[in-house]
């Protein structure tokens, strides 16, 4: 599946092009698709297409603002090595890079707002 936005659109939105721009767009598109899994909407409607593009761009910006430069949510804490051993087998992982993002919402508020404005979020208002 193609991303809902292009690298050029992302570059315009951010003011720069991340080295992994296409990867970020692909992952943000999957995040948006995950949110809309059971939603019903017309993929040929220009307003829907625009909302999907805006939401994808906002999702990338949200991920980057979290310091999540690869677009993958992770639970590792910075600088904390971990390991397990069972009998004579020792499994370990090196120190992680970046902080935990698993406690943060999957979808950024601006991305959600774009979908909600186009009436394709299928969810009610967000309580404040």
- Based on the structure, what is the number of domains in the chain? 1
Quick one: tokens of 120? 């394709």
Render pLDDT for 71-125 as a digit per residue (tens, 0 to 9).
887 654 444 445 555 666 655 544 444 455 556 788 999 999 999 999 886 655 5
Domain limits for position 29: 1-76+99-128
In a domain, 92, yes or no: no
Question: Is residue 35 domain-resident?
Answer: yes
Nearest to 5 by CA among 31, 40, 38, 41: 31
Q: How many CA atoms lie within 13 A of 82 on its CB side?
A: 7
Radius of gyration for the chain, computed over Cα atoms and rounded to the nearest angstrom: 17
- Evaluate if pTM is beyond 0.85: no
Instruction: Report how far residue 65's alpha carbon sits from residue 70's, in angstroms, rounded to the nearest whole number.
Output: 12
105 is a domain residue:
yes
């Amino acid at each position: 599946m193609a991303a809902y936005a292009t690298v050029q659109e992302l570059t315009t939105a951010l003011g720069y092009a991340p080295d992994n721009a296409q990867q970020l767009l692909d992952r943000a598109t999957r995040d948006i698709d995950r949110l809309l899994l059971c939603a019903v909407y017309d993929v040929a409607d220009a307003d829907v297409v625009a909302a999907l593009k805006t939401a994808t761009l906002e999702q990338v910006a949200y991920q980057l603002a979290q310091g999540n430069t690869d677009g993958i949510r992770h639970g590792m804490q910075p600088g904390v090595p971990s390991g397990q051993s069972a009998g004579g087998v020792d499994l370990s992982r090196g120190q992680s890079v970046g902080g935990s993002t698993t406690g943060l919402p999957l979808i950024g508020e601006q991305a959600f707002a774009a979908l909600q404005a186009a009436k394709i979020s299928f969810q009610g208002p967000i309580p404040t």
